[in-house]
């Protein structure tokens, strides 16, 4: 199911996807996936906002 959602985001040209799973819920971090680069990083909410703003 996640792969299908990521494929959809990629097809629509969505640059970033935020992933929130059980690990993220436990740590209070968010996973930000850069769809163009294919990289993923864990950030707090303020870090995520800054990263997306550029």
Provide the CATH number for the domain around residue 18.
3.40.50.800
Which tokens in the block code for residue 31? 């996973």
CB atoms within 10 A of CB 52: 13
Distance CA 28, CA 52 (A): 18
Give the pLDDT confidence of 1-49 residue by residue, as tens digits.
Answer: 999 999 999 999 999 999 999 999 999 999 999 999 999 999 999 999 9
Distance CA 12, CA 47 (A): 25
Q: For residues 13-51, b (16+ Cβ closer than 10 Å) or e, as one string?
A: eeeebeeeeeeeeeeebbbbbeeeeeeeeebeeeebeee
- The domain of 47 spans 2-53
Q: What is the pTM of this model?
A: 0.84
The total domain count for the chain is: 1
């Amino acid at each position: 199911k996640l792969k299908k959602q990521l494929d959809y985001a990629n097809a629509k040209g969505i640059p970033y996807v935020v992933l929130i799973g059980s690990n993220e819920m436990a740590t209070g971090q968010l996973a930000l996936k850069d769809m163009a680069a294919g990289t993923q990083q864990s950030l707090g909410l303020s870090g995520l906002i800054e990263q997306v703003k550029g």
